[in-house]
Amino acid sequence: MTATLLSACPLLRAAFLRCHYDADSLLEALGDAAHAALGRGEPAPVRMAARDLGELGTLVRLFLLVDDVDERDAAAALAPLSIDDAVDATIVTRSGPDVVRTLVDVRPLDTGTGTRWVVSDLDGSMRPAPTAPDHVLGVGQASLSLLRGTPTTPAQHVLDVGTGCGVQAVHAAGYARSVTGTDISPRSMLLAAATAALNEMTLELLQGSWFEPVAGRRFDRIVANPPFVVGLGTVDHSYRDSGLDLDGASKLMVEQTPAHLEPGGIAVILASWVHVEGEDWRSRVASWLPDHGVDAWILQRDVADPALYVGTWLRDGGVDPRDEAGSTRAQMWLEHFAAAEVTGIGFGFVYLRKTDLPSDVLAEDLRHAFDDPLGDEAVDYFDRLTFSREHDYAVTVFELDPATALERVYLPGDEGWSLEVTRVHRGNGPNWQHEIDDLGAALLAGMNPGGLSLCELVELLAAAHGIDETALLDASSTLVAGLHRHGLVRPRRAGGPVPAAETFSATSQDR
C-alpha cells in the first residue's frame, strides 16, 4: 500500500519522539548562537552545531536546513518511517544517488503547552525555492505575534479562519474543547491535517472561502491570520492575497466576524488598513463595525511607507524588484496606491467582543516595544471596559497598579534643570504611558487600597488648591478612565482595607 502524508504521520511522530526532535532539545543541543542563526536564516552555524548531534542533527539538516542528506543517515533518523514510504508520502525526495532532500518544512514549536510540530511548504530561507501560488506559509513573525496575542482562557469552540499550516489551530487545541479551521486552499487543508496528525489532535478542517464553510455557526473565540496584504485586488499567492482591493480583506473580516461570535465571545484578527490623505485611520477601521453589539480594541503596531511595503511583499513572493518584471509590477502597485491617495499601510490587531450593548470602539497606536503577550491583556481590557459600564468612577476607590511608576523628565534650562514632562508609566503588559500634570500626580498619590473614593480625593484636592470641584471631578474622571482602561489604576479589590480619611492629606502637597 502506498503511503500518504497523513498515513505516514504516526511513524514520523515516533521518529521525532525517539530522536528528541522537540523545541527544548533543539535549543539545548544547538546552543543559543546557532539557534539564533536558525531564526535569521543563516545555515552555516546551524550545520556546524548539527554535525555532532547524531540522528537529531540529521533531522535538523533534513527539515530545517533543507540539506541533501545521505539516504542511510536519513533512514536511521526517520525510522520507523522507511525512506520509500517517506518518498511516497511526499515528505522527502531522492535528490541524487543515495541522497534525499525534504519537500516540506517540519519544525518543532512550543506554543505554550509543550512542543507541537508544524508542517508547511519550504520558504526558501535556507535553500532557494520557488513560491507556488498555493504555497502554505510556515511559522513566521506574523504567526508568532498572533500566538502571543491570542487569549488562552478556556473556550468551548474556536474558529481559525485562514488556518494555513494549522499553527493557530493546534495552539487553540490547548485551551478549547473543539477547534475548526477553514481555508480556501486544498494544499492548506492537507498540510494542516498533517500538522494535526503529527500532534495526535482532532481538528475540524473545512475548505472554503472566509466564513462560508461555517455559515450559521457561532464560536466562543475566533482567531484569524487572513490574507491581509494591501494590494491590487489580484491573487498571486493564496496565503497573502485575497483578491479584494486595498484593505478589503481586513474590512471583510472585521465586518463579518461579529455574526459568528457567541455572546461574550472574543475574536483576535491580524489586519492591515490604508492610511489615506485627509482621513484618520482610526475612523476608517471603526467604520467597519456596527453601532451596536461589539466592543472593539484596535491596536496599530506599525505603519509602512508604500514603497517599502511594495518592495517587501514583492521579495516575499520571490519577485526581484530590480529586474524588469519586478520593476513593472512595483510601478503598477505604487500607481494604484497613488490613485487611492494612500500615504501608508497600517498593521496590527483587532480585538472584538460580542455584546448586546451599544458598540464601544477604541483604536490606538501601540508602536513601542513591549515583552508581555497581548492575549491576556485583551481579556483584562474587556473586563475593565465592563467595569466602567457598571460602576460610577466618582464613588470608586482606586489603587495604583504595582507596576505603575511616576516619571519626571528634566532638561537643561536657563536656571538649571527645567521640568519637561511628567508621566505615569506601566512597567508591564503593553507598557502604556500617560502624560499628566502636577494635579494629576497629586490625585494618583492618594490612590491606595485604604484610600478614598475618587470624588473624596477630588474634594480634598480642590480645597487644597482653590479649584472648582465640579470641573476638577470632570477632568479627574476623564484621566482615571484612560488610566483604568490601560491598567495603570484599578478598583480596590474586595476585602481591601477600610478607607482612611487621613491617607490623602499626607500626599496632597505633591505639586
The ranges assigned to domains in the chain are 5-108, 138-276+293-307+350-388, 391-505
Residue 495 has pLDDT above 60, yes or no: no
Q: Please, which pLDDT band fits residue 100 given cuts at 50, 70 and 90?
A: very high
Residue 204 has pLDDT above 80, yes or no: yes
pLDDT of residue 151: 95
Q: What is the pLDDT of residues 285-321, one digit of tens each?
A: 999 999 999 999 999 999 999 999 988 888 877 777 8
Domain 138-276+293-307+350-388 adopts which CATH fold?
Rossmann fold (3.40.50)
In 3D space, the residue among 436, 429, 370 whose CA is nearest the CA of residue 408 turns out to be: 436
User: Whole-model pTM?
Assistant: 0.91
Average pLDDT of the residues of the chain: 91
In whole angstroms, give the CA distance from residue 127 to residue 421: 51
pLDDT of residue 238: 72
Residue 24 has pLDDT above 70, yes or no: yes
Match 517517506 to its residue by C-alpha cell: 86
Match 535556507 to its residue by C-alpha cell: 126
H runs (alpha helix) in 391-486? 438-445, 454-465, 469-485
Q: Please, which residues have CB within 8 angstroms of residue 325's CB and are 6 or more apart in sequence? A: 319
Q: Is 166 helix (H, G, I), strand (E, B) or coil?
A: coil
Q: Is 443 helix (H, G, I), strand (E, B) or coil?
A: helix
Mean predicted confidence (pLDDT) in 264-283: 96
pLDDT of residue 1: 53
Percent of the chain at pLDDT above 90? 78
In whole angstroms, give the CA distance from residue 145 to residue 316: 18
Q: 391-505 is classed in which CATH architecture?
A: Alpha-Beta Complex (3.90)
Mean predicted confidence (pLDDT) in 218-247: 85
**pLDDT: which is higher, 428 or 320:** 428
pLDDT of residue 504: 31
Q: Is 206 helix (H, G, I), strand (E, B) or coil?
A: strand
Q: What is the pLDDT of residues 350-408, one digit of tens each?
A: 999 999 999 999 999 999 988 888 999 999 999 999 999 999 999 999 999 999 999 99
Q: What is the pLDDT of residues 50-88, one digit of tens each?
A: 999 999 999 999 999 999 999 999 999 999 999 999 999
pLDDT of residue 477: 96
In whole angstroms, give the CA distance from residue 459 to residue 463: 6
Environment class of 480 (CB within 10 Å of its CB; exposed 0-12, middle 13-18, buried 19+): buried
Residue 348 has pLDDT above 70, yes or no: yes
Q: What is the pLDDT of residues 429-470, one digit of tens each?
A: 999 999 999 999 999 999 987 789 999 999 999 999 999 999
Q: Please, which pLDDT band fits residue 40 given cuts at 50, 70 and 90?
A: confident
Percent of the chain at pLDDT above 70? 96
Beta-strand runs (E) in 29-146? 69-70, 92-96, 99-102, 105-110, 115-120
In whole angstroms, give the CA distance from residue 104 to residue 64: 9
